[in-house]
Amino acid sequence: MGEAVKKITANIPAKLLERAQQTTRLGITETLVAGLEELERSHKRSMLRALRGRVRFALDLEKTRR
């Protein structure tokens, strides 16, 4: 069974959508999904960067290579 889908109506600047579709070479829905996924990935990267220097761990490369 697939993921739930939500149908929406949105006012999006035509030129912005056109440029995004030229970039992705996808249709409208696929382009919007790709943009939302990238927004989510960007947020996750920012959250990980915020943890820099706060998380400590030790890694023994020799043990992990065996």
Per-position pLDDT tens, the chain of length 66: 688 999 999 999 999 999 999 999 999 999 999 999 999 999 999 999 998 888 887 888 888 887
Domain parsing of the chain, residue ranges: 14-65
pLDDT of residue 2: 84
Give the predicted TM-score (pTM) of the model: 0.74
Question: In sequence order, what DSSP letters do the residues of 5-64 get, joined into one string?
Answer: ---------HHHHHHHHHHHTS-HHHHHHHHHHHHHHHHHHHHHHHTTTT------HHHH
pLDDT at 39: 98
